[in-house]
A and B are shown apart, each in its own frame.
Chain A
Amino acid sequence: MVRSITRWLSAIVFVLGAAAAAAAQDGLIDTIKKRGTLVVGNATFVPWAMRSKSGELIGFEIDVAKKVAEDLGVKVDFQPTAWSGIIPALLAGKFDVIIGGMSITPERAQTVDFTIPYSTSGQAIVANKALAGSFKRLEDFDAANVNITCRRGTLSCQTVQNRFPKAQMRAFEDDAQATQELLNGNAHAFISSAPRPRFVALDNPDKAFMPTDEFLVLQQEGFAMRKGDPKAAEFFNAWIKSNTENGWLKARHDFWFTNRSWAEQVTN
């Protein structure tokens, strides 16, 4: 009995080791080409990635990932992932790369490798008219009786802590809940990546307004990969560079971010 268990265990350990060694040999790009599919991790963030009326993924990220795959000559496979677990999932090998509007931060760079930025955006703030309509300056939000909502695990929550350290931060699992809390009158403000706060204000002119049109923080987004694959980073960086120079990235970014001409793809 005991001897057979030991034999089984050593067999399992051996197979695990062999699999790990095989995976380490090929670079990421070779693996992708051999497989014929680029597996991309992303999370729903309007308008980075969202669902069309027919349930398809659409958005800025989706366009970018599709073009990367096309240029590699492979198919693309999206793995929609809960945002708070997206980096662990990348590290666990659930996908090749995160193309998901991930802002480049020193903290994240300790666990993943970032490419050069392929887009620039910022954190914006939208406020509840009834609660914060009388606030004159942004500093008024930095008070102990002010509630500010954000999406957990995002740069938005860090922005709340850095810019409004005295305010009560309330983090939610997704943007929809954080927005609803603002509209329900339980929070004075909601901070999120642009352009979401502006859309909230536009959709609810009687309830919400934007205290400022300026970004609280500027940020840049990059693809995120597992550490230690310089060849893959080189490929993605070259791709971003060439598509920045030829204007493709800017054109797609403008399409998704400057207005909502795409809205009819999402709503009835």
Chain B
Amino acid sequence: MTLPRSGRHDGEPPARPRRLPPARPARARLTPVDAALFGLVALALAYAAYRVNDVLAYRWNWGQAFNFVIRYDAATGSWVPNLLLQGAAMTLRLALWGTVLATLIGVVMGLARTSTNLTLQLLSRAYVELIRNIPPVVFIFIFYFFISSQLFPAIGVDRLRPDSPILANPVALVLFGPPNLFANFLSGVVCLAIFEAAYVTEIVRSGIQSVEKGQWEAARAIGLSHTRVIADVVLPQALRRILPPLGGQFISLVKDSAMVSLISVQELTFLSNEVASTTRRTFETWIIAATFYFAMCLVFSLLFDHLERRARLVPR
């Protein structure tokens, strides 16, 4: 029901000229009812806090948990990141490489999905259906224990020594983390990317298919090759349309990265588990971990808001 209100009852077309954007809705104002609702929510939160304090047998000790975020190193006299911050950095690396790889796979598979070649269509369709119909945790286990442990030795990843110059340099340390965990990190990234790329594929497909047939025909008519039609005419339009769902998918990717803790990638969730087990500061540790995830995802969604707004400003 997207018809404007004026046209609904009398069956007449809307009076407004079609080219103009819809009028801005009236600015929402807070009413007493809203204030009452806010009050109720606050009450519920206060009650939850009271329950946690009073009923739960738990002695809070934030100092010990914060020490695992950042600690003072007496030997060098400086503050150094501890396990939780290292884990957050690993999660960021997973998010970065996962996004890059998932975009690559997703665009290629999305193009294959919309191609006229039947083999390519079947392959990408099979890929998407396979991933979408297996629970992520099951996929991660199968991938890790059967595929990556067969594939990585074959391409020589496990022969990369931790002290090899490819891994043991400052740039690689920032981009890939500790060299001795590189193979493990790579499994995590590839696993996450293959999983998320199935959804990116579908988003890309819908974007490409949403570009009107006339655009294809017009581009072909002025003599552009098939590749140029896709690269210069279809993809730019499709990309603008799929930015919002793509942003949502990448935020999912950050959150889903917690799953690779199951295969012992040393990211935020895995290290939080380690810290919680060691210190028994369960709640503090997980609240800190949740704050990290929240901050990362919020930054991601603000970034995509910004990109969307910019994409809207670019003239078509």
- Residues of A participating in the B interface, judged by any CB pair closer than 8 Å: 1-2, 12, 15-16, 19-20, 23, 35, 37, 44-46, 50-51, 53-55, 77, 79-82, 85, 88-89, 91-94, 173-177, 179-180, 183-185, 203-204, 207, 266-268
Q: Which residue of the partner chain, among B83, B153, B277, contacts A19 with CB atoms under 8 Å?
A: B153
**CB-defined contacts of A94 to chain B, threshold 8 Å:** 149, 184
Give the complex CA separation of A174 and B272 in angstroms: 11
Contact check, A44 vs B264: say whether CB atoms are below 8 A apart: no
Q: In the assembled complex, which residues on chain A have CB atoms less than 8 Å from the CB atom of B83?
A: 51, 55
Q: Which chain B residues lie closer than 8 Å to A23 at the CB level?
A: 153
A247 and B275 CA atoms in complex are apart in Å by: 32
A183 touches B162 (CB 8 A): no
Taking A54-B82, A267-B279 as known contacts, 20 extra A-B pairs with beta carbons closer than 8 A to each other, sorted by chain A number, are A1-B119, A44-B273, A44-B277, A50-B277, A51-B275, A51-B279, A79-B264, A82-B261, A82-B264, A82-B273, A85-B264, A92-B144, A92-B146, A92-B149, A93-B149, A93-B153, A94-B149, A176-B277, A180-B58, A268-B63
15 A–B contacts from the bound complex (CB under 8 Å) = A16-B151, A35-B161, A44-B278, A50-B278, A51-B83, A53-B71, A55-B68, A79-B181, A80-B274, A82-B263, A89-B145, A92-B144, A183-B57, A184-B58, A266-B278
Structural contact, A16 and B154, CB atoms closer than 8 A: yes
Cα–Cα distance between A50 and B276 once the two chains are bound (Å): 10
Does B34 interact with chain A (Cβ within 8 Å)?
no
A265 to B149, CA, bound (A): 36
Interface membership of B86, Cβ < 8 A = yes
Bound together, the chains give a CA A93 to CA B158 distance in angstroms of: 10
Residues of B within 8 A of A20 (CB): 153
Residues on the A chain within 8 Å of B264, using CB: 79-82, 85, 89
Contact of B266 among A37, A80, A176 (CB under 8 A): A80
Question: In whole angstroms, what is the CA distance A224 to B58 when docked?
Answer: 37
Q: In the complex the two chains form, what is the Cα distance from A23 to B280 in whole Å?
A: 41
Total contacts A to B, CB within 8 angstroms?
103
User: Are A176 and B280 closer than 8 Å at their CB atoms?
Assistant: yes
* Least CB separation from A57: chain B residue: B274
- A19, A50, A81: most-surrounded residue (chain B CB, <10 A): A19
| Nearest CB of chain A from residue B66's CB, rounded to whole Å | 10
A180–B63 Cα gap in the complex (Å)? 19
- Measured in the bound complex, the distance between the Cα atoms of B64 and A77 in whole Å is 27
Please report the C-alpha to C-alpha distance between residue A88 and residue B277 in the assembled complex, in whole angstroms. 22
For B148, give the chain A residue with the smallest CB separation: A92
Given contacts A19-B154, A82-B262, A207-B57, contact A54 B273 (CB under 8 A): no
Q: Which residues of B contact A19 (CB under 8 A)?
A: 153-154
Interfacial residues of chain B within 70-101, with CB under 8 A of chain A in the complex: 71, 73, 82-83, 86
**CB of B191, distance to nearest CB on chain A (Å):** 13
Q: How many residues of B contact A (CB 8 A)?
A: 43
- Chain A nearest Cβ from B184, distance in angstroms: 7
Across the interface, do B57 and A204 meet the contact criterion of CB distance under 8 Å? yes
Q: Which of A79, A88, A175 contacts B145 (CB 8 A)?
A: A88
List of A residues within 8 angstroms of B141 by Cβ? 85, 88
* Residue from the list A15, A85, A174, A268 in contact with B273, Cβ < 8 A: A174
In the complex, residue of chain B having the shortest beta-carbon distance to the beta carbon of A179: B280
- In the complex formed, the residue of B with least CB distance to A14 is B154
For A182, the closest partner residue in chain B by CB is B57
List chain B residues, Cβ under 8 A from A183.
Answer: 57-58
Quote the shortest CB–CB distance from A4 to chain B (angstroms): 12
Q: Return chain B residues, CB-CB under 8 Å to A174.
A: 273, 276-277
Dominant secondary structure at the B interface? helix
B301 interfacial contact with A, CB 8 Å = no
Interface centre among B149, B161, B261 (most CB of A within 10 A): B149
- CB of B209 within 8 A of chain A? no
Q: From A54, A80, A179, give the contact of B73 (CB < 8 A).
A: A54
What residues of chain B lie closer than 8 Å to A44, measured between beta carbons? Answer: 273-274, 277-278
Interfacial residues of chain B within 142-172, with CB under 8 A of chain A in the complex: 144-146, 149-151, 153-154, 158, 161-162
Q: Indicate whether B270 reaches chain A with its CB closer than 8 angstroms.
A: yes
Which B residue's beta carbon lies closest to that of A75? B162
Given the known inter-chain contacts A50-B277, A183-B58, A268-B67, please indicate yes or no for A176 contacting B145, CB distance below 8 A. no
Cross-interface CB contact of B154 among A2, A15, A37, A180, cutoff 8 Å? A15
Selected contact of A184 from candidates B57, B149, B180, CB within 8 Å: B57
Could you tell me the distance in whole angstroms from the C-beta of B31 to the nearest C-beta in chain A?
A: 40
Chain B: CB-nearest residue to A82: B264
Nearest CB of B to A41, in Å: 9
When distances are taken between beta carbons in the complex, the residues of chain A under 8 Å from B184 are 79, 94
- Closest chain A residue, CB of each to CB of B86: A55
Contact A16 B150 (CB under 8 A): yes
6 A-B pairs with the lowest CB-CB distances in the bound complex, closest first = A92-B149, A50-B278, A81-B264, A176-B276, A183-B57, A55-B83
Contact A184 B56 (CB under 8 A): yes
A89 to B187 alpha-carbon distance, docked (Å): 12
B64 CB → nearest A CB, Å: 5
